[in-house]
Amino acid sequence: MKKLSLNFWGLLPAYLVMSLLMVLPLLIIFYVSFMSSDPYGGYKAVFSLDSYTQILYSYDWDENLVLNLQYLKIIARTLLLSAATAIICLLISFPVAYYISRQSHTMKTLLLYLVTLPFWVSMVVRVYAWVLILSNDGVLENGLRFFGLIGDIDSLLYNNGAMMVGMVYTYIPLMILPIYASIEKLDSRLIEAASDLYSSRMNTLRRIILPLCKPGIVAGFVLVFVPSLGTVLEPMLLGGGKTMMLGNLIQNQFGVARNWSFGASLTVLLLCIVLIFLMFQARRTNLNKEFS
């Protein structure tokens, strides 16, 4: 009995903090998303689905509902850029993780240290570095001009590409570490056996290495994709005003636009996207476990 109460008291603070500062706020968001918006800011305690219809429709001059693709575009951009970021991170991370795993012990430790080090550096500073590189008359433009590779060009900053470079740069260590962990667990004798049986390198990679590293790849994909969906900083600094993402849209509803119920419904939408993605991943990993 005494043991049980010790367990209880040990976990109580964590439960208290999480339910008061995480679960309760999410419930409030859910509640506010079904309330109507108040033109003076905040929300009115009147039930309404307006904040959800607002995602797809808007009122024209005659108060008729018309399809409005403005927000759908932002949602689609968010999904596409996040997926692209995760895929690019994966394409770079796999060779890098494999390369690190083949080094000597000291070299491995050093390279892993170099991979994790940027994590400790402020994210704002890391994104700012790209502003410095990509801005007008910035390092990259001057460098390219110096070598005569470009003439006069539009800014390299404030577009989807710049935003994605920033996102890949921010999130790529999250992809390398889990993939590295799964490559380290891989038995290299399997690769040698495949090669002894005249399997080409490509074939070995496709049939032996990649399937065995799948848990690491899946984990890395989740770790990059989920935070990418909620990106706020990169669009604001590298994307400029024109290229908004869902995270910025939400933030604006609670800031300048002061439309809480619309912001809440967008938050619920983002949460649903994340949950569907995580459930899909969990189901697939479970299926894999059952079949192997």
Partner 1 sequence: MNISALFKPNREATHYPGFGAVGILFFSFLYFPILVIITYSFNSNRIVSVWQGFSWKWYASALQNEGLLNALQVSFTVALFATLIATAIATAAALVLSRGKNVKHAKLSQAVVNLPLMLPEIVFAVAILILFSQLGIQNGMLKLILAHSAFCIPFAFLPIRARLQGMDNNLEQAAQDLYATPLVTFRRITLPLIAPGIFAGAMLSFVISMDDFITSNIVSGGGATTLPVYIFSLVKQGVSPELNAISTLIMVASLLIATPCWLIAKRSR
User: Of residues 2-21, which lie at the interface with partner 1 (CB under 8 A)?
Assistant: 3-4, 6-7, 9-11, 13-15, 17-18, 21
Q: 70 vs 103, which CB is nearer to partner 1?
A: 103
Nearer Cβ to partner 1 (59/280): 280
Which CB atom, from 105 or from 290, has the smaller least distance to partner 1? 105
The CA-CA-CA angle for residues 235, 241, 243, to 5°, reads 55
Applying the rule CB under 8 A, the residues between 72 and 131 that interact with partner 1 are: 92, 95-96, 98-100, 102, 109, 111, 113-118, 120-131
> Contacts with partner 1: how many residues (CB under 8 A)?
87
Least separation in angstroms between residue 232's CB and partner 1 is 5
Sign of torsion over alpha carbons 202, 205, 210, 211: positive
Tokens 């390219």, located at residue: 144
Among residue numbers 185 through 204, which ones bind partner 1 (CB under 8 A)? Answer: 188, 191-192, 194-196, 201, 204
Nearer of residues 3 and 289 to partner 1, judged by Cβ: 3
Q: Which two tokens stand for residue 250?
A: 């939400």
Q: Report in angstroms how near the CB of residue 287 gets to partner 1 at its nearest.
A: 20
What the block records as the tokens of 31 is 């509640």
- Is 178 an interacting residue with respect to partner 1 (CB under 8 A)? no
Among the listed ranges 47-55, 147-155, 211-219, 262-270, the one in contact with partner 1 (CB under 8 A) is 262-270
**Contact flags string 207-226 toward partner 1, x per CB under 8 A:** -------------------x
